[in-house]
């Protein structure tokens, strides 16, 4: 690390719109990680970046400085059945009803690849993969690095939480961004996501970058720019990266909520399930496989013939879960009836909020979630209904949560033209 920098000069430089050089970026990220740069200084810099942005070279350097703040795993020699296999992972920028990871990870592992999926928990209206899987009795998210490698080598698939050594600068910076109104900065979102994926050691990556009301950045142009920047970081970091920009104006699938989404994934793994989720899962699988040089794959076959289900069961059992155990169910279920007739629309953000209000989500990190709570849509975007038809159900264990969740769900529902399914792919960008 170079001497001679000081945080105030770097904040002023970005405030005034100057491009930071490699040395300044390395210095400030390292200083923040070691506690030499104060949180209020890093917050000010985050706000300056929010308004001034960063060039692609700055974003790439920022990302590698965050990777360098912790340990970078090396999965390059990972073997399955005695042969070295390529690694490929997936990330979604987060949407409502998005449980694709639960199906995609074991589906990909039916090929000779390994899928190291480090996931997070939900906060606010989008759910977290780990919360969903924790509704399976016995399943454990917290594996150490050696357990993670063992599960990967045995089953080709692992979904677990990230350890404290994985890009610690990102963890600390995200906490500051969260309380300073600086989360929705495209350079910082891109660097945050990519630093964790690069640090986990994956060789290839497929990104599902969402737009629409359920997404982080509702505007499709913003989603496209986020996808472009992440693909550029992948290219500069030696990770073969593909991004699909996909719709989340209406929820993906029919279920929103932890065990409810797991149940829906089991339907897909049994060869059925909602067509929008199946289509997006297969599109992402084809991209992921292409990134590791497998171009003639037909993911649908492996959902239909049970291979993906076998892979899911192996992955769940390897992490202590019982794939045969009944999933938790909520004690109370209420119906929502249509207030209008006609073709219908659902607002993804409001459906996500209704699920959160039913108890499926958390307000603060560390809170418990209700595994059985959530929403099931009986009729989806574009369906024709008559006033009085049942269009959705709300599920909750805490009965007092039902009125608020139902009111939000009623506000999510409306008549209108069909805007097309969730998961429709608007654009594809590749680093190769």
Query: Which residue ranges make up the site for ligand URA (CB under 6 A)?
Result: 174, 183, 188-189, 192-193
Of residues 156 and 220, the one with the C-beta less far from ligand URA: 220
Of residues 92 and 431, the one with the C-beta less far from ligand URA: 92
Residue 391's DSSP bridge partners are none
Q: Which of 14, 121, 125, 196 is catalytic?
A: 196
Q: Which of 186, 202, 128 is nearest to 161 (CA)?
A: 128
Residue 225 C-beta: closest distance to ligand URA, Å: 14
CA atoms lying within 13 Å on the CB side of residue 35: 0
Of residues 141 and 330, the one with the C-beta less far from ligand URA: 141
Helix axes 145-155, 307-318, angle to 10 degrees: 150
Residue 343 C-beta: closest distance to ligand URA, Å: 33
Residue 183 C-beta: closest distance to ligand URA, Å: 6
Residue 244's DSSP bridge partners are 208, 428
Of residues 60 and 192, the one with the C-beta less far from ligand URA: 192
Adjacency order of strands within the sheet including 332-337 = 255-256, 374-377, 390-396, 332-337
CA 77 vs. chain centroid, Å, equals 26
For the question of residue 91 being annotated catalytic, the response is yes
For the question of residue 196 being annotated catalytic, the response is yes
Residue 318 C-beta: closest distance to ligand URA, Å: 25
Q: Which of 192, 213, 237, 431 is catalytic?
A: 192
Q: Which residue is nearest to ligand URA (CB)?
A: 192
Contact assessment for residue 133 and residue 315, using Cβ atoms and an 8 Å cutoff: no
The C-alpha angle with vertex 130 and arms to 392 and 336, in degrees rounded to 5, equals: 10
CA atoms lying within 13 Å on the CB side of residue 22: 5
Q: Which of 26, 89, 131, 170 is catalytic?
A: 170
Of residues 174 and 382, the one with the C-beta less far from ligand URA: 174
Residue 195 C-beta: closest distance to ligand URA, Å: 9
Q: Which of 14, 61, 90, 91 is catalytic?
A: 91
For residue 276, is it left (φ>0), alpha (ψ between -120 and 50) or beta?
A: alpha
Q: Which of 121, 177, 197, 228 is catalytic?
A: 177
Q: Which residues are catalytic?
A: 91, 170, 177, 192, 196
């Amino acid at each position: 690390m170079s001497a001679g920098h000081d945080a105030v000069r770097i904040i002023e430089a970005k405030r005034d719109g100057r491009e930071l050089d490699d040395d300044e970026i390395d210095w400030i990220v390292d200083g923040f990680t070691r506690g030499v740069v104060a949180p209020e200084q890093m917050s000010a810099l985050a706000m300056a970046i929010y308004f001034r942005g960063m060039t692609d070279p700055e974003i790439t350097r920022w990302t590698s400085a965050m990777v360098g703040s912790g340990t970078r795993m090396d999965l390059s020699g990972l073997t399955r059945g005695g042969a070295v296999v390529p690694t490929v992972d997936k990330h979604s920028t987060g949407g409502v009803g998005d449980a694709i990871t639960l199906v995609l990870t074991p589906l990909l592992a039916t090929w000779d690849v390994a899928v190291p999926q480090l996931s997070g928990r939900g906060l606010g209206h989008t759910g977290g993969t780990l919360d969903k899987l924790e509704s399976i009795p016995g399943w454990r998210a917290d594996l150490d690095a050696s357990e993670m490698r063992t599960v990967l080598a045995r089953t080709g698939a692992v979904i677990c939480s990230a350890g404290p050594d994985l890009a610690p600068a990102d963890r600390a910076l995200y906490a500051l961004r969260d309380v300073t109104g600086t989360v929705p900065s495209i350079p910082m979102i891109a660097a945050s996501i990519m630093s964790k994926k690069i640090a986990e050691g994956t060789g290839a990556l497929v990104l599902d970058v969402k737009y629409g009301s359920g997404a982080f950045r509702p505007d499709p142009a913003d989603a496209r720019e986020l996808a472009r920047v992440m693909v550029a970081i992948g290219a500069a970091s030696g990770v073969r990266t593909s991004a699909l920009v996909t719709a989340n104006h209406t929820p993906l699938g029919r279920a929103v909520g932890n065990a409810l989404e797991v149940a829906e994934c089991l339907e897909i793994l049994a060869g059925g399930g909602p067509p929008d989720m199946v289509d997006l899962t297969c599109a992402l699988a084809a991209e992921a496989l292409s990134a590791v040089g497998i171009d003639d794959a037909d993911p649908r076959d492996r959902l239909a013939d049970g291979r993906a289900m076998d892979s899911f069961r192996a992955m769940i059992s390897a992490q202590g879960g019982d794939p045969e155990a009944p999933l938790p169910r909520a004690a109370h279920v209420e119906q929502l009836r249509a207030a209008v007739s006609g073709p219908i629309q659902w607002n993804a953000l409001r459906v996500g909020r209704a699920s959160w209000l039913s108890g499926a989500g958390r307000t603060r990190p560390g809170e418990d979630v209700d595994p059985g709570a959530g929403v099931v849509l009986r009729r989806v975007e574009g369906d024709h209904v008559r006033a009085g038809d049942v269009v959705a159900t709300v599920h909750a264990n805490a009965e007092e949560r039902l009125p608020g969740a139902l009111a939000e769900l009623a506000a999510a529902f409306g008549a209108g033209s069909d805007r097309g399914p969730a998961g429709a792919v608007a654009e594809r960008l590749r680093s190769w």
